[in-house]
Chains A and B, each alone.
Chain A
């Protein structure tokens, strides 16, 4: 169990009219070889910005990585030259985005787009690249790959485009594949196909898979470990079983209870998390969830809880973490005295 990719205290800020938006505010997590790691959270929690920071794809200005380290096999990616970083993207860390339509170039055929990195970056000849491209399309189960290579993105359905994106991301034999909401734009039956395919290919090739998603079901089905993010920070981390079985952060607990369940009939109204996520340009000194938290203590407004190990391999950034989670369906009353 070695950490292949280790993000340490990453901080990415954006300048806006309202001030400095701390989109990523001290995020640390690691990815181990061959595992499937999920990063889960709602819009604006910083899960995508963290991934883009790892790939050094933050548009600057307005964005800037202001602190932290991204260690890949021991090397800090944030200190590499642009040239060195280009070698990392694709050949060491591959990435898949949410929108398969906007991530492909509409005026180039699929073959050109697949073969370009093979010839440019990996020094293959045109024929070698063509054979490899056919092989890649076959591996993502696209029928009739030779003909498909000559076609353009608009000839492909949403699911097929996402298969092409997976083929592209895996073309450089990376050790880590980051998938940012890979199936959010797809229908459920196609979503299941794509996720199964990703899981199967990464397992086969020993690639570590990082799935960034807002979908708690996808996390439960596919992830080994989970990072829950809120307002630019990781608030809880453990194995999927442990996080779902005994959530140790009030936000995670609230999320679990606010999702309607497919597998049992509704009993009553959903429990809701009142209020809204905080303004990232005006974060206070305390815990960023405290305004919406049912368990908040006085000190939560003044002091920010660090992510600490509550039970073995289960981390939470909450002062009452050890009192939570003994009974996930019925949270115990926490005395606020």
Chain B
């Protein structure tokens, strides 16, 4: 067994693309208008470790405020993490800066949630998709061809390149967002709630597109989402976050069929299944309360105030992620 802080390697034998070690991202909370004093720390991400193999999709799920978006943003270096390491193809992203960081950022791209606010309304679809090419000085002289190629790749007609975002539907805009991410030929894509704002019938189109692109281009995904059914459909492995911590990480089917952590169990039970017959017989575990403030997280296990099986020890001891079954890690004293 590995030491508690060195964690869940992915499926053995595969090349590791991203390896996150003990990552912490704390944001100061200040008070006062002029002389701002730090009055507290929001521990958005508090000691998270995981890795992603090349070509794999890791699903990252959790409720609002659990730190899943911040974690994704740390990998893209939108923030400089408070501590910890993010190894990307062996290189620590937290130490990179300047030109090297820009090079690395070309390889790691992001797809955002809101297809309305994430596209500049004054730029045409072609300009939006072409902008990363200019920034990274790629496809010089062949920009138009590259834009057309990308548009066909994401299922848009290249003839639409001169249209503005408002002329597209939500699903088509998300295709533009994906096209922009793919323009610079990245290896790794962070999809932050990339299908959450879309209607069911359109959502299926975008999910299929993302899976199709992964097969064609050999992409690796970190798929951040709150919808557990969507994640089951796209991810190979799944990490569950709660209040800045990963509480469980395992390959797809074990996490849905035999969840170990009480939070994962509650989360799965809370999601209604679109089948009245199944719903009649499914156990409904309804946990009480809401997610506490990350400004002042509970002691011990952060889930203990809402946990149906917590005892006294849970409020004192912080459980480490440990490998309960091969490849299936959970952070719970009672498991």
Interface positions, chain B 265-324, Cβ under 8 Å from A, are 266-279, 282, 284, 286-288, 290-291
B257 to A, closest residue via Cβ: A265
How many angstroms between the C-alpha atoms of A270 and B253 in the bound complex?
18
B272 x A221 contact (CB < 8 A): yes
A residues in contact with B199, CB < 8 Å: 42-43, 214
How many angstroms between the C-alpha atoms of A271 and B233 in the bound complex?
12
A216 x B200 contact (CB < 8 A): yes
A residues in contact with B288, CB < 8 Å: 193
A residues in contact with B266, CB < 8 Å: 189
Q: Which of B64, B205, B272, B284 has the most CB of A within 10 A?
A: B272
Interface positions, chain A 258-275, Cβ under 8 Å from B, are 258-263, 265-266, 269-274
**Cβ proximity bits A194-229 to B, threshold 8 Å, 1 near / 0 not:** 001000000000000000001111111110000000
**Given A157-B290, A220-B276, A262-B229, A42:B270 Cβ within 8 A:** no
A217 x B271 contact (CB < 8 A): yes
Main SS at interface, chain A: helix
A272 x B205 contact (CB < 8 A): yes
A101 contacts chain B at the CB level, 8 A cutoff: no
A274 x B205 contact (CB < 8 A): yes
B83 contacts chain A at the CB level, 8 A cutoff: no
How many angstroms between the C-alpha atoms of A220 and B273 in the bound complex?
7
Report the contact-size class of chain A (Cβ under 8 Å from the partner): 35 or more
A187 x B64 contact (CB < 8 A): yes
| Chain A nearest Cβ from B266, distance in angstroms | 6
B126 contacts chain A at the CB level, 8 A cutoff: no
A190 to B, closest residue via Cβ: B290
Q: Which residues of B contact A (CB under 8 A)?
A: 63-64, 169, 171, 199-205, 207-208, 211-212, 226-230, 232-233, 252-253, 256, 266-279, 282, 284, 286-288, 290-291
26 interchain pairs (CB within 8 A)?
A157-B290, A158-B290, A187-B64, A188-B63, A189-B287, A214-B199, A217-B229, A217-B273, A221-B276, A221-B279, A222-B272, A254-B201, A258-B204, A259-B200, A259-B274, A260-B233, A261-B229, A261-B233, A261-B274, A262-B228, A262-B256, A262-B271, A262-B273, A263-B275, A265-B256, A270-B208
Q: Which of A254, A258, A274 has the most CB of B within 10 A?
A: A258
A260 x B201 contact (CB < 8 A): no
**Given A187-B63, A192-B270, A258:B203 Cβ within 8 A:** yes
A266 x B272 contact (CB < 8 A): no
**Given A189-B287, A255-B201, A220:B274 Cβ within 8 A:** yes
A256 x B204 contact (CB < 8 A): no
B211 to A, closest residue via Cβ: A269
How many angstroms between the C-alpha atoms of A91 and B291 in the bound complex?
34
A240 contacts chain B at the CB level, 8 A cutoff: yes
Q: Which residues of A contact B (CB under 8 A)?
A: 42-43, 157-160, 187-193, 196, 214-222, 240-241, 244-245, 254-256, 258-263, 265-266, 269-274, 276
B267 x A189 contact (CB < 8 A): yes
A276 x B202 contact (CB < 8 A): yes
B270 x A188 contact (CB < 8 A): yes
How many angstroms between the C-alpha atoms of A67 and B232 in the bound complex?
45
How many angstroms between the C-alpha atoms of A244 and B272 in the bound complex?
14
A266 x B291 contact (CB < 8 A): no
Task: Taking A215-B272, A262-B271 as given, write out 15 further A-B residue pairs in contact, using a Cβ cutoff of 8 Å, ordered by the A residue number.
Answer: A160-B290, A188-B228, A189-B287, A190-B290, A191-B270, A196-B284, A216-B200, A217-B274, A221-B279, A244-B277, A260-B227, A260-B229, A263-B282, A269-B211, A270-B208
How many angstroms between the C-alpha atoms of A254 and B269 in the bound complex?
25
B276 x A255 contact (CB < 8 A): no
| Chain A nearest Cβ from B87, distance in angstroms | 30
B228 to A, closest residue via Cβ: A262
How many angstroms between the C-alpha atoms of A43 and B199 in the bound complex?
7
B residues in contact with A274, CB < 8 Å: 205
A residues in contact with B226, CB < 8 Å: 187-188
A270 x B169 contact (CB < 8 A): no
| Chain A nearest Cβ from B190, distance in angstroms | 20
| Chain A nearest Cβ from B212, distance in angstroms | 8
Query: Which are the 9 A-B pairs with shortest beta-carbon distances?
Result: A217-B272, A258-B204, A260-B233, A216-B274, A221-B272, A187-B63, A273-B201, A42-B199, A192-B270
| Chain B nearest Cβ from A142, distance in angstroms | 12
A residues in contact with B227, CB < 8 Å: 260
How many angstroms between the C-alpha atoms of A214 and B272 in the bound complex?
13
How many angstroms between the C-alpha atoms of A217 and B271 in the bound complex?
7
How many angstroms between the C-alpha atoms of A265 and B205 in the bound complex?
19
B residues in contact with A217, CB < 8 Å: 229, 271-274
B284 to A, closest residue via Cβ: A192
B274 x A192 contact (CB < 8 A): no
A219 x B287 contact (CB < 8 A): no
B residues in contact with A262, CB < 8 Å: 228-229, 232, 256, 268, 271, 273
How many angstroms between the C-alpha atoms of A124 and B78 in the bound complex?
56
B residues in contact with A241, CB < 8 Å: 276-277
Q: Which one of A255, A261, A276 contacts B200 once the chains associate, using CB atoms below 8 Å?
A: A255
How many angstroms between the C-alpha atoms of A219 and B288 in the bound complex?
22
A261 x B232 contact (CB < 8 A): yes
A residues in contact with B200, CB < 8 Å: 42, 214, 216, 255, 258-259
How many angstroms between the C-alpha atoms of A159 and B268 in the bound complex?
19
How many angstroms between the C-alpha atoms of A223 and B276 in the bound complex?
9
